[in-house]
């Protein structure tokens, strides 16, 4: 990226701590003064000097290490990071070496003056490999990856030489709701012959979306989206402790009994497919889910005056799921129950006109 | 907040427990929205928001304890009522309740025994106790239909000198909570039965030894704190000599002289003295206490807080309990000095839930001090305010971590903060906070009275003062010992009467589960922070568990691996899954069935350890591998495994 072509930081305002999506990164060589004027009324961000993989760069104060690295074209894998939710920094896949006693989670740690970051040394590679092995040995990560730059976890498993099998054969699935009843501080003593997993039956308690916690990596994003980061419904929380921690409503009641308002914003942020439209789940179960044949149509939600951007995913001339782009200025990826699930009427056509 | 809370009615006992606890603190329910009777004519026409509708989430743990004490478990109806009263979403409240081992969310009998099967108790036959209890009371946590009592296994209860230990809780109008030992199954059943029948004559302040400072009591106390009443003690000087429930006794034995002196010299000088004394934190991190105080005082944000970390849950550690139970006023005075120096008006003692006697005595001390004007709006009529609140932990080792403790006091799951700002800038409630261990604070009065320079003459170059050690396992006289920094491990063990039965030492655990194992070659090591570091060991909080030649170390290591699997908060992947994989690995080794060769297993454990240390969020995950790795390196531990 040439100096002049550096992306403008005009969107960035001065904040003590930046709580929105990562600011666009402004980079230039330290020798030049960054004199790209922002739009009227907006100030360019204060810049800091730091070193990423040996290259001196300037980055806006308040941005995350992850954003700074990605602006340099550096590929850092993430799972629990999401553009629209406050970073929790719990999956530890994005760790980098900033010279400290321990590694630094790049998604939640902010850049600082003079910081020297190494994004891919032996130490970093070791931890990423182990994190991938630990996850893949305990969780079904087949669908994980929407937040990864190249959309698939397998690439990274290969890149870091992750071998989840070395912890032994996968243990069996828990009975329905058994994991939800486990008591903190107590667990069934293992003989070590198999590697314990979070496998369990899918929770299907409504017609709109399913919860397959065999795929849950406990990234906390759905809790954040249900809570203060988007919906403020607080229908779900993390319950239990340690390996038995799980996403749960109070006393594991079904969603219809909970505070859930079916906005589906949790589905939008889920990086592993643990939360899924019922329509998508049914098609997958039937072996008829064919994303390569799907047509994605951008439109505006017809229900109210807000004007939310909808992305209709259409397969065989039927809407199979509705998303909203995380980058949308109107929605930041969030919708309400009507925009998200209220699409049936589109598909109700007079008899005789349904095919073709 | 617009909350959806299930419309279920709490039982009279639940309502009593919840409102009886909350009403004095936050007032009665104002209407149907926050837990009162719903009257549509009134409640249909009000909207509360802003300050009026704020959440009182910080009271969540205390009110859970109130329900546990009264009813024995937290039902959906009780949770719903709590959520209305405190304005907390039910899913979040459930997330908190289910995080803590001492909170139970399904019906269980009123009388419950928590039986310790950790290191010291294991050596003393805890497995036999558990097997007998299983025979008498049914499987742990699964009582037969209609049973009046049940039992659970528990991590270290901090009663290692009287192993095997058990905490007995009996819920009711006069709840009973006692922690004692040694026990066999019959004694535990007897304690449970007594608890169910004899609630009237239970005095929580008494404890097994009573309180009056008689010769007889001193003799009994020496079985717990063998140096009690002896010469040369600083931290334990008053132990056994005074009635721990008598402020008069405390005042007659130098009590509150230090606070008076502190008020005379002023807060800046107090902090200077503490800095000069070079007193390092005794909770394990060894951070200079004076620097914390200075930094918190300098931060321009109010209100400031003092938090005393009394969540002494590190296996093999029970030294803070000695101060809390036997000299509670000294902690009250020390915290008041800290509050005065830093400019804080409120102090919290985060006390582990398994220390009922310590809680009763400390609460009594706080109340007595408040009554005498030594706490409150105008302490000693010196023009500053300070008060102390006890927060009872819920059975979560991780809450001893420096930021999880704040989360827990704030009424959240005890998950360590990830992007932690410095405590002295944004700690508890995001306000400047000084977090000190009980023992660290216990050093403060003598520093003020003698001056920091005199204090700094004690100990060694890098470790000033005296240290409390919790010694347990295969020694003649397990207990809490005080010694000057620099005493060798051998001399300390000799102080405890040497190895029981004249056997040889096989291994010594330093610092508990988060610590390391050393072999007999380390006996010459002087116990200081610097020598421990040099030897690749740690002092931690001063736990020393001694294992003789007959010990099955693999069994101990396996128990430690189980401990970390239970106590990981579950937030980050390296710790949440890593602790499970460690336990599985140790189980294979202990069963003599390694996957591949023993060397393969050691390599795998090492790989896990590096990632857990490098990539875990907090100290729990970062140290969860140390004891296992060091233990497996001991001579002869892996002999015969997989051969």
| Packed helices B12-26 and B60-71: angle between N→C axes, nearest 10 degrees | 150
Residue A12: pLDDT band by 50, 70, 90 thresholds? very low
Q: Give the per-residue pLDDT at A36.
A: 55
Mean pLDDT on B389-398:
98
Mean pLDDT on B9-20:
97
Among A15-29, A51-65, B154-168, B235-249, whose mean pLDDT is lowest?
A15-29
Does residue B419 or residue A142 have the better pLDDT? Answer: A142
Q: Which of A91, A130, A185 sits opposite B611 (nearest CB)?
A: A130
Which residues, listed in sequence order, are joined to residue A50 by a DSSP beta bridge? A57
Mean pLDDT on B278-303:
96
Does B477 share its domain with B580? no
Strands A116-117 and B344-351 turn out to be: unpaired
Domain endpoint, select from B97, B132, B148: B97
- Are B3 and B90 within 8 A, CB to CB? yes
CA distances from B50 to A131, A228, B1, B42 (A): 43, 16, 9, 20
CB contact under 8 A, B583 and A190: yes
Of B620, B102, B195, give the one whose Cα is nearest residue B398.
B620
Which residues, listed in sequence order, are joined to residue A97 by a DSSP beta bridge? A118
Q: Give the per-residue pLDDT at A4.
A: 37
Nearest chain A Cα to B562, which residue?
A189
Q: Which of B93, B568, B584 sits opposite A242 (nearest CB)?
A: B568
Tokens 């991780």, residue located: B398
Domain endpoint, select from B97, B124, B155: B97
Of A235, A126, A190, give the one whose Cα is nearest residue B565.
A190
Residue A82 tokens, joined: 């999401």
CB contact under 8 A, A186 and B572: no
Nearest chain A Cα to B92, which residue?
A237
Contact partners, residue B266, CB within 8 Å, separation at least 6: none
**For residue B565, what is the enclosing H or E element?**
helix B553-567
CA distances from A241 to B37, B52, B290 (A): 35, 33, 35
Classify residue A218 as exposed, middle or buried by CB count within 10 Å of its CB (0-12, 13-18, 19+).
Answer: buried
What is the domain range of residue B143? Answer: 111-197
CA distances from B312 to A324, B187, B563 (A): 49, 26, 15
Q: How far apart are CA B583 and CA B612, in angstroms?
A: 14
Domain endpoint, select from B44, B69, B97: B97
Does B184 share its domain with B268? no
Backbone dihedral angles phi then psi of residue A177, each to the nearest 5 degrees: 65, 0
Does B431 share its domain with B282? yes
Residue B643: pLDDT band by 50, 70, 90 thresholds? low
Does B315 share its domain with B391? yes
Residue A320 tokens, joined: 């199979």
Cβ-defined contacts of B288-296 (< 8 Å, 24+): B289/B436, B289/B440, B289/B443, B292/B423, B292/B424, B292/B434, B292/B435, B292/B436, B293/B338, B293/B341, B293/B342, B293/B434, B295/B422, B295/B424, B295/B425, B296/B342, B296/B343, B296/B344, B296/B423, B296/B424, B296/B432, B296/B433, B296/B434
Neighbours of B523 (CB within 10 A): 16
Q: How far apart are CA B182 and CA B160, in angstroms?
A: 9
DSSP B387-411: EEEEEE--S-GGGGSTTHHHHHHTT
| Packed helices B319-326 and B328-342: angle between N→C axes, nearest 10 degrees | 100
Backbone dihedral angles phi then psi of residue A277, each to the nearest 5 degrees: -55, 140
Q: How far apart are CA A254 and CA B102, in angstroms?
A: 26
Among B127-136, B192-201, B546-555, whose mean pLDDT is lowest?
B192-201
The total of structural domains in chain B comes to: 5
Alpha helices in B410-542 (DSSP H): 423-426, 438-442, 444-450, 452-456, 489-495, 529-534
CATH number for domain A1-171, candidates 1.10.3720.10, 3.40.50.620, 3.10.20.740, 3.30.70.1230: 3.10.20.740
Q: Which of A168, A232, A250 sits opposite B93 (nearest CB)?
A: A250
- Are B352 and B310 within 8 A, CB to CB? yes
CATH number at residue B612: 1.20.1440.230
Does B348 share its domain with B379? yes
B543-577 b/e (C-beta count within 10 Å ≥ 16 → b): bbbbbbeebebbebbbbbbbbbbbbbbbbbbbbbb
User: Considering the entire predicted model, what is its pTM?
Assistant: 0.93
Residue A17: pLDDT band by 50, 70, 90 thresholds? very low
Strands (E), A179-239: 209-211, 237-239
Q: Give the per-residue pLDDT at A7.
A: 37
Report the percentage of chain A scoring pLDDT > 90: 72
Question: Could you tell me where in chain A the CATH 3.30.70.20 domains are found?
Answer: 198-347
Residue A5 tokens, joined: 């072509």
Decide if B614 is inside a domain: yes
Decide if B64 is inside a domain: yes
CATH number at residue B116: 3.40.30.10
Q: What is the separation of C-alpha B566 from the centre of its chain, rounded to a whole number of angstroms?
A: 16
CA distances from B461 to B30, B456, B483, B528, B529 (A): 60, 9, 16, 9, 10
Q: How far apart are CA A160 and CA A122, in angstroms?
A: 10
In terms of phi and psi (left: phi > 0; alpha: psi -120 to 50; beta: otherwise), the region of B42 is alpha
State pLDDT tens for residues B226-276: 999 999 999 999 999 999 999 999 999 999 999 999 999 999 999 999 999
Chain A hits for B613, CB-CB cut-off 8 Å, are: 102
Mean pLDDT on B5-10:
93
Does B377 share its domain with B394? yes
Q: Which of A103, A134, A185 sits opposite B581 (nearest CB)?
A: A134
Q: Which of A89, A190, A235 sits opposite B419 (nearest CB)?
A: A89
Tokens 């290259």, residue located: A55
Contact partners, residue A338, CB within 8 Å, separation at least 6: A301, A303, A304
Of A35, A46, A28, A26, give the one whose Cα is nearest residue A112.
A46
Does B430 share its domain with B526? no
Domain A198-347 has CATH 3.40.50.300: no
Mutate: best of B77, B84, B95, B513, partner A, most A CBs <10 A: B95
- Are B410 and B429 within 8 A, CB to CB? yes
Chain B hits for A257, CB-CB cut-off 8 Å, are: 6
CB contact under 8 A, A186 and B587: no
State pLDDT tens for residues B464-513: 999 999 999 999 999 999 999 999 999 999 999 999 999 999 999 999 99
CB contact under 8 A, A250 and B587: no
Q: Give the per-residue pLDDT at A81.
A: 87
- Are B67 and B14 within 8 A, CB to CB? yes
Q: How far apart are CA B113 and CA B193, in angstroms?
A: 11
- Are B510 and B256 within 8 A, CB to CB? no
Mean pLDDT on B559-563:
98
- Are B43 and B32 within 8 A, CB to CB? yes
Nearest chain A Cα to B605, which residue?
A167
CA distance A283 to chain B (A): 31
CA distance A340 to chain B (A): 21
Does B172 share its domain with B121? yes
Q: What is the separation of C-alpha B430 from the centre of its chain, rounded to a whole number of angstroms?
A: 23
Q: Which of A130, A185, A192 sits opposite B566 (nearest CB)?
A: A185
Mutate: best of A123, A237, A252, A261, partner B, most B CBs <10 A: A237
Mean pLDDT on A209-232:
95
Mean pLDDT on B313-322:
98
Q: How far apart are CA A151 and CA B433, in angstroms?
A: 43
Backbone dihedral angles phi then psi of residue A109, each to the nearest 5 degrees: -85, 140
Q: Which of B395, B571, B579 sits opposite A185 (nearest CB)?
A: B395
Decide if B221 is inside a domain: no
Does B414 share its domain with B471? no
DSSP A92-129: -TTEEB-SSSS-EETTTSBP-TT-EEBSSSHHHHHHHH
CATH number at residue B497: 3.10.20.600
Residue A146: pLDDT band by 50, 70, 90 thresholds? low
Mean pLDDT on B421-427:
92
- Are B163 and B153 within 8 A, CB to CB? no
Q: How far apart are CA B234 and CA B457, in angstroms?
A: 14
Average pLDDT over chain A reads 87
Residue B631 tokens, joined: 């233990």
Question: Could you tell me where in chain A the CATH 3.10.20.740 domains are found?
Answer: 1-171
- Are B394 and B99 within 8 A, CB to CB? yes
Decide if B639 is inside a domain: no
Contact partners, residue A142, CB within 8 Å, separation at least 6: A215, A273
Contact partners, residue B70, CB within 8 Å, separation at least 6: B13, B14, B16, B17, B171, B172, B173, B175
Q: Give the per-residue pLDDT at A30.
A: 41
Q: Give the per-residue pLDDT at A353.
A: 65
CA distance A284 to chain B (A): 28
Neighbours of A101 (CB within 10 A): 7
Contact partners, residue A353, CB within 8 Å, separation at least 6: none
Average pLDDT over chain B reads 95
Backbone dihedral angles phi then psi of residue A238, each to the nearest 5 degrees: -85, 130
- Are B337 and B259 within 8 A, CB to CB? yes
Chain B hits for A250, CB-CB cut-off 8 Å, are: 6, 76, 79, 90-91, 93-94
Residue B582 tokens, joined: 């460690």
Q: How far apart are CA B161 and CA B183, in angstroms?
A: 12
State pLDDT tens for residues B582-591: 999 999 999 9
CA torsion sign, B88 to A217 to A21 to A65? positive
Query: Which ipTM was obtained for this model?
Result: 0.94
Classify residue B46 as exposed, middle or buried by CB count within 10 Å of its CB (0-12, 13-18, 19+).
Answer: exposed
Residue A26: pLDDT band by 50, 70, 90 thresholds? very low
Does B36 share its domain with B178? no
Chain A hits for B99, CB-CB cut-off 8 Å, are: 184, 239-241
Chain A hits for B1, CB-CB cut-off 8 Å, are: 232, 234
Residue A10 has pLDDT above 60, yes or no: no
């Amino acid at each position: 990226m040439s100096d002049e072509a550096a992306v403008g930081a005009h969107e960035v305002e001065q904040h003590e701590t930046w709580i929105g999506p990562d600011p666009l990164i402004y980079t230039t060589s330290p020798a030049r003064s960054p004199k790209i004027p922002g739009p009227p009324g907006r100030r360019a961000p204060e810049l800091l000097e730091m070193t990423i993989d040996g290259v001196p760069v300037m980055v806006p104060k308040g941005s995350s290490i992850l954003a700074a690295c990605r602006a340099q074209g550096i590929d850092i894998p993430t799972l629990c990071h999401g553009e629209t939710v406050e970073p929790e920094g719990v999956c530890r896949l994005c760790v980098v070496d900033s010279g400290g006693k321990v590694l630094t989670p790049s998604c939640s740690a902010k850049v600082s003056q003079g910081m020297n970051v190494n994004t891919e040394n032996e130490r970093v590679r070791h931890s990423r490999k182990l994190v991938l092995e630990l996850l893949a040995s305990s969780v079904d990560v087949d669908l994980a990856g929407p937040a990864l730059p190249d959309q698939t976890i397998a690439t990274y498993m290969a890149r870091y030489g992750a071998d989840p099998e070395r912890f032994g054969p996968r243990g069996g699935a828990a009975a329905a709701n058994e994991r939800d009843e486990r008591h903190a501080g107590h667990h069934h003593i293992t003989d070590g012959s198999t590697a314990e997993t979070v496998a369990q039956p899918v929770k299907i308690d409504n017609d709109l979306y399913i919860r397959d916690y065999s795929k849950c990596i406990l990234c906390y994003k759905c809790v954040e989206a249900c809570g203060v980061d988007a919906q403020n419904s607080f229908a779900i929380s993390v319950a239990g402790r340690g390996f038995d921690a799980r996403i749960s409503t109070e006393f594991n009641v079904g969603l219809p009994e909970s505070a859930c308002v079916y906005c589906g914003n949790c589905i939008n942020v889920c990086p592993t497919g643990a939360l899924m439209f019922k329509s998508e789940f049914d098609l997958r179960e039937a072996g008829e889910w064919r994303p390569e044949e799907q047509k994605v149509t951008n439109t505006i939600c017809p229900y109210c005056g807000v004007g939310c951007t909808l992305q209709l995913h259409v397969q065989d001339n039927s809407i199979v799921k509705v998303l909203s782009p995380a980058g949308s200025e109107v929605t930041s990826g969030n919708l309400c129950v009507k925009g998200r699930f209220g699409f049936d009427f589109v598909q109700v056509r007079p008899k005789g006109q349904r095919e073709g | 907040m617009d909350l959806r809370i299930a419309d279920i009615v709490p039982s009279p006992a639940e309502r009593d427990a919840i409102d009886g606890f909350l009403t004095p603190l936050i007032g009665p329910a104002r209407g149907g929205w926050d837990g009162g009777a719903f009257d549509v004519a009134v409640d249909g026409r009000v909207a509360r928001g802003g300050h009026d509708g704020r959440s009182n989430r910080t009271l969540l743990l205390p009110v859970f304890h109130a329900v546990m004490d009264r009813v024995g478990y937290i039902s959906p109806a009780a949770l719903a009522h709590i959520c209305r009263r405190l304005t907390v979403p039910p899913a979040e409240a459930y997330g908190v309740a289910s995080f803590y081992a001492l909170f139970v969310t399904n019906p269980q009998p009123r009388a419950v025994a928590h039986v310790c099967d950790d290191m010291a108790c294991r050596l003393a036959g805890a497995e036999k106790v558990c097997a007998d209890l299983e025979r008498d009371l049914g499987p742990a946590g699964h009582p037969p239909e209609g049973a009046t009592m049940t039992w659970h296994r528990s991590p270290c209860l901090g009663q290692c000198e009287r192993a095997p230990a058990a905490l007995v809780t009996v819920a009711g109008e006069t709840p009973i909570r006692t922690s004692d030992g040694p026990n066999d199954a019959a004694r535990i059943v007897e304690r449970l039965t007594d608890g169910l029948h004899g609630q009237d004559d239970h005095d929580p302040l008494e404890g097994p030894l009573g309180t009056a400072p008689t010769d007889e009591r001193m003799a009994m106390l020496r079985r717990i704190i063998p140096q009690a009443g002896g010469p040369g003690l600083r931290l334990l000087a008053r132990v056994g000599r005074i009635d721990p429930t008598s402020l008069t006794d405390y005042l007659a034995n130098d009590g509150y002289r230090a606070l008076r002196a502190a008020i005379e010299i002023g807060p800046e000088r107090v902090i200077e003295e503490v800095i000069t004394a070079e007193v390092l934190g005794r909770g394990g991190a060894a951070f200079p206490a004076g620097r914390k105080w200075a930094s918190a005082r300098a931060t321009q944000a109010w209100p400031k807080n003092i938090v005393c970390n009394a969540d002494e849950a590190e296996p093999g550690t029970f030294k803070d309990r000695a101060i809390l139970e036997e000299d509670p006023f000294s902690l009250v005075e020390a915290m008041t000095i800290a509050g005065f120096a830093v400019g804080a008006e409120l102090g919290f003692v985060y006390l582990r839930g398994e220390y009922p006697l310590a809680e009763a005595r400390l609460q009594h001390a706080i109340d007595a001090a408040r009554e005498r004007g030594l706490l409150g709006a105008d302490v000693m009529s010196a023009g500053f305010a300070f008060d102390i609140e006890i927060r009872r932990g819920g059975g979560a080792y991780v809450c001893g971590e420096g930021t999880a403790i704040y989360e827990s006091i704030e009424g959240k799951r005890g998950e360590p903060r990830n992007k932690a700002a410095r405590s002295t800038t944004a700690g508890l409630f995001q306000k400047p906070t000084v977090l000190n261990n009980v023992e660290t604070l216990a050093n403060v009065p003598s520093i003020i009275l003698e001056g920091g320079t005199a204090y700094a003459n004690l100990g060694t170059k890098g470790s000033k003062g005296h240290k409390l050690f919790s010694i347990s396992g295969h020694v003649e006289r397990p207990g809490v010992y005080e010694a000057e920094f620099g005493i060798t491990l051998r001399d300390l063990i000799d102080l405890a009467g040497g190895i029981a039965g004249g056997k040889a030492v096989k291994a010594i655990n330093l610092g508990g589960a988060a610590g390391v194992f050393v072999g007999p070659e380390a006996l010459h090591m002087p116990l200081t922070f610097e020598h421990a570091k040099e030897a690749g060991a740690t002092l931690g909080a001063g736990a020393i568990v001694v294992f003789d030649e007959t010990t099955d170390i693999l069994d101990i290591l396996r128990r430690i691996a189980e401990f970390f699997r239970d106590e990981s908060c579950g937030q980050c992947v390296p710790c949440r899954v890593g602790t499970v994989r460690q336990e599985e690995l140790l189980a294979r080794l202990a069963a003599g069935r390694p996957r591949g060769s023993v060397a393969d297993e050691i390599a795998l454990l090492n790989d896990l350890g590096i990632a857990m240390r490098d990539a875990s969020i907090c100290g729990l995950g970062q140290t969860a591998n140390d004891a296992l790795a060091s233990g497996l390196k001991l001579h002869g531990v892996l002999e015969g495994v997989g051969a």
